[in-house]
A and B are shown apart, each in its own frame.
With several copies, the nearest count.
Chain A
C-alpha cells in the first residue's frame, strides 16, 4: 500500500537491510559507551564520539560526515550550502574540525589547566620527554612499509604521542579519512596507560632499577636550583618558550603557542581571569563536545570496517609501547654515564598521557619501595612529553603535508 511504502521509506530500515554491517557500528558505539561510562575510559571524549557514531549511521538524519572528494565539491561550498545540503553535523565538521580549529582551542584550555611548576622544579628530567617520542617515528616507517601513504603513516604514528588533541590535529591535516579510528585508538590507549606502562616496564627493567630512590639520589648529588620567585618564573616561561618554538618549529605553533598562551593567562592571575575562564571553561568544554560528536560522526560502516582500521589499532599500540620503551632506554643510557641514577619509570612517563602516566609510574615505584614517591619527578617528563609530541606533530606536518 502506498502509505505503508512511504512510511517504510521514511525509516532507515531499508538502508539497514542493504548494509547490515551498520549493526557492527551500533555494537561499536555501545562498546565505546560502555568503556566511557562504566569503565570511565576518557569519558569526556569517548561518550560524545560514541553518541556521534550512533546518530551518524543512517543518511536520513544527515548526521554523518561526508568526506570531501574531488567530485562532491564540498571543499568549494560555503558553510550555508554545506548545512543545507548535508546537515548540521557536516556544517560543524567542516567549520570546526576540517579547518583544524578545535584542537588548538583545546590546547588553549589544556594550557590554562597545566601547571608547569613540577616541571620547573625538576627541569632536567623534562629532557626525557624527548626520547619517548620515538614511537611516533618508528611506526611512521613501519606503516609506510606496510603500504600506508606517508601522510597516513604520519597520522598513525602520532598516536604514539599519547596526546588526544595532537593526534586529532595531525590527522585532520594529514589524513582526515582516518580521523575516527585514530582518535578512538589514541583516547583508548591513553585510558589503557595503567595497563600498557606496567606491561612495557616488566619486559625492560630490573627490580634494582625500579627501586632507584629519586629523593635519596637528589640528596646524594644535589643539582636543582631553588626557585626564589616561582610566580615570575611561571609568567616568563611560557613567553620565552613561545618565542623559541615559533622561531624553531613554526608549524607546531598552532598547538604549542596556544598551549603556552593558555598557560600565561592562567599564571598572570586575577588580571586576566576573564580570559582564563573563557579558555579553561567556555571554549574548552564547548570544543570538547563538538570535537567528540564530529569525530564520532566520521565513522560509518563503509569507512570504518576495513583492514586499515585494524592496522591503526595494532599500529597505535605499537607506537605507544615503543614510545614508553624509548623513554625507559633513554634513562638507562643516562644512568650508564652518570653517577646520579634516575628511576627508569621517569622515562616511561615521557610519553605524556598527563597525569595518569605519572600516577601509574608512582604506583609501580611504591610497590617496589613504599618510601619512593616519584610523582613530582614523573610529572616533569610527563608534561614535557606534551610539548615533545606537539613538536613532533609540527615536524610531521611541515615535512609531509
Chain B
C-alpha cells in the first residue's frame, strides 16, 4: 500500500477520533456547566421550584462538609452524566 495513502488513513482515524472526542467534550462540558449554573447561579425567580431530577440526587447535608459548593457540583454533575443518572453519590470524605 502506498505510503501517502497509509498516512491519509491514519489522519482519517485520528481526525474522526479527535472530532468525536471534542464534540463529546462539548456535550459533556455543556451538561456539567448547565447543572452547576442551575444549582448555584440559577436566576432568583425560577430557582428552587424547578429543580431537575439530576440535581435532587444530591442530598443537601453533603454541602456542609467544607467542600466548596462549585467543586461539589462539578463532581456530582460529572458522575451523574457519565453514569447516565444511575450512579448516585452518597457521601464525600475530605482527608
Contact = CB atoms under 8 A, between A and B. Distances in A.
Interface of A: 2-3, 6-7, 10, 119-120, 123-124, 126-127, 129-131, 133-134, 136-138, 140-141, 144-145, 149-150, 153-154, 225-229, 232-233, 236-237, 240-241, 244-245, 248-249, 384, 387-388, 391-392, 394-396, 399-400
B16 A134 contact: yes
Contacts of A227: 34, 37-38
Secondary structure of the B side of the interface? helix
What size tier do the contact residues of chain B reach? 35 or more
Nearest to A142: B8
A140 B38 contact: no
B59 interface: no
Given A137-B12, A137-B15, A396-B15, A249 B22 contact: yes
A228 B31 contact: no
Contacts of B19: 130, 133, 388, 391-392, 395
A223 to B, nearest CB: 9
Secondary structure of the A side of the interface? helix
Nearest to A236: B33
A400 B11 contact: yes
Contacts of B42: 228-229
Contacts of A229: 37-38, 41-43
B14 A399 contact: yes
Q: Which of A10, A232, A400 has the most CB of B within 10 A?
A: A232
Closest 3 CB pairs of A and B: A228-B42, A137-B12, A130-B23
Q: Which of A6, A228, A399 has the most CB of B within 10 A?
A: A228
B46 to A, nearest CB: 6
Interface of B: 2, 4-5, 7-27, 29-31, 33-35, 37-38, 41-43, 46-47, 50, 52, 54
Given A137-B12, A241-B26, A387-B23, A249 B18 contact: yes
Given A3-B10, A7-B14, 16 more contacts: A3-B14, A6-B14, A10-B18, A124-B27, A130-B20, A130-B24, A134-B16, A140-B8, A140-B12, A150-B4, A228-B46, A229-B41, A236-B33, A244-B29, A392-B19, A399-B11
